Amino acid sequence: MGLEDSRGDKSRYAEFRIALTAEPDGSDPASRPRYRTVAVGPDGRPAQGYFVNPLTPWMVDAALSSITAAGKPLQRSVATDSLDPVRDLGARLYDALFSGPIERAFYNAFQAGGQARVRLILGDEETMAIPWEFLYDRRRNDFLVLSTRTPLMRSVHVSGPLPPSPYLDTPVRVLAVASDVTGAWHVDKEIAILHEALRDSPYVELRTHTPVTWEDFHHAVKETEPDVVHLIATGVSQTAATPLGGQAVAFLTDLSTSMGQSKAYSLYGSDALAALAAANHRLRLLVFNGCRTDELAAALARVVAGVIGHRGDITDAGALSFTMGLYSALIRGHSLDAAVTEARLRVDSLTPGGREWCAPVLYQQDQGIVFPTPRARSPEIPARLQGEVAPRQGATTPRDDRALQKLNSLLAIHETNLDALLERTQQFGDATPPYMEQEIRTTRREIERLRNEIAVAEETPG
């Protein structure tokens, strides 16, 4: 059986790029920096504008502190004019970025194909610190990162050549390591999730090492030469006079103890991690599945084609759900950005109305990564000629079962969300909060849209 390069998944999206470049400010040193924005859609025509960050650090901190994952979707004690601070700040951020010519160019790109991958090219730490994952489009009444039609990623300027292709060679080597300095995480459960997600693929080799010290981790990477590293460890914020603040990963120094017992841990920052990553020529994806690792992801993005980190604190349940969503999508041949979107949707299904899905941060260079999957069609026939080959007499052309499976999976997620939202409204009676009523309306519209797409897909031959 041959391999499928999954170009169908990658080419589904029209890419819309927005590059932000800081302008020199010779006036008020206390004023917020202004950025020149240049957007280029699939038609190749640039649109220009300007961006000034409308969010202050305290606004972002307040929004992040409002996120819970234990049944209460939002706290009301946040000083904001909205019951949903993430949506409120996301709408402000969206209006500041997508304005004038750039807004028109984006909607032209989106309407042309019904979907558009948004790539933000960030040039400094100020823009990397902005929570772009909050972006909320009032017109579509949706967060960009929660829609399979508008996956969002970050990119950075890099010097030197990028890997020539996003398609990983077989077998894909996945190395999962864990350094639980708290002694409280469900590491065994996460390793089991990885085995469950990857076991059906004959093209993936999974190796695990738990627990590990820094020396163990260093040795495992050198020995395995993995394509993917899944690191279960927490980040620790360090004092630094930069917008990103500086983070380091905590590793055990003694495998017989945890931080809760003796505080026996050591910290390793982006320089040590970047040196280790650069020494492995195969490494294409680095997943930091732990709290406070978004700044590490930004730093490693110049070395690794795909890096995932998490902003702020995440729950153990959220981390497990994200892991299952990410790798189950990658193993089906979805591109990295699409897989991250599916992982966010899975986290969202865990606590409908919650906002823990906005914690993951994806940095992806142009090529990204795509896992190999079983190929159904003959590799000798070029993709552009497939439609010109006449089928055998009496043969029927199968539907795209993988696309149909994805639609049904998304429908199940939204139906689960709706059931949970309706159940929660019973607690409020006639005093249901406006944000929850809006969530219900949005979820119902999405369910109707997915049902229509499924009906068309089931009736349409491949």
Question: Which token pair is 396?
Answer: 């029927």
> Phi, psi (5° rounding) for residue 316?
-60, -40
Farthest-apart Cα atoms in the chain, separation = 75
> Phi, psi (5° rounding) for residue 185?
-85, 160
Domain extent listing, the chain: 3-156, 172-374, 390-459
Instruction: Please tell me the predicted confidence (pLDDT) of residue 358.
Output: 93
Q: Residue 355: how many CB atoms within 10 A of its CB? A: 25
Residue 228 pLDDT exceeds 90: yes
C-alpha dist (Å) from residue 395 to 133, 356, 462: 46, 48, 12
50-88 pLDDT, tens digit each: 999 999 988 888 888 777 543 343 332 333 344 588 899
Reduced to 3 states (helix: H, G, I; strand: E, B; else coil), residue 248 is: strand
Instruction: Please tell me the predicted confidence (pLDDT) of residue 307.
Output: 97
Higher pLDDT, 380 or 275: 275
Instruction: Please tell me the predicted confidence (pLDDT) of residue 375.
Output: 52
- Averaged pLDDT, 406-429: 69
Higher pLDDT, 200 or 308: 308
Residue 382 pLDDT exceeds 60: no
Instruction: Please tell me the predicted confidence (pLDDT) of residue 123.
Output: 87
Higher pLDDT, 113 or 296: 296
- Averaged pLDDT, 161-177: 84
The closest of 313, 316, 318, 312 to 344, measured between CA atoms, is: 318
The closest of 426, 415, 402 to 450, measured between CA atoms, is: 415
187-221 pLDDT, tens digit each: 999 999 999 999 878 899 999 998 899 999 999 99
Weakest-pLDDT range from 286-290, 339-343, 352-356, 404-408:
404-408
| Fold classified for 172-374 | Rossmann fold (3.40.50)
Per-residue DSSP letter, 126 = H
Weakest-pLDDT range from 140-144, 231-235, 350-354:
350-354
CB-CB contact of 16 with 106 (8 Å): yes
- Averaged pLDDT, 263-279: 90
- Averaged pLDDT, 124-141: 93
| Spatial distance between the Cα atoms of 307 and 284, rounded to a whole number of angstroms | 8
Higher pLDDT, 6 or 94: 94
Angle at 368 between CA 366 and CA 374, to 5 degrees: 135
Question: Which token pair is 345?
Answer: 């949707």
| Spatial distance between the Cα atoms of 329 and 360, rounded to a whole number of angstroms | 16
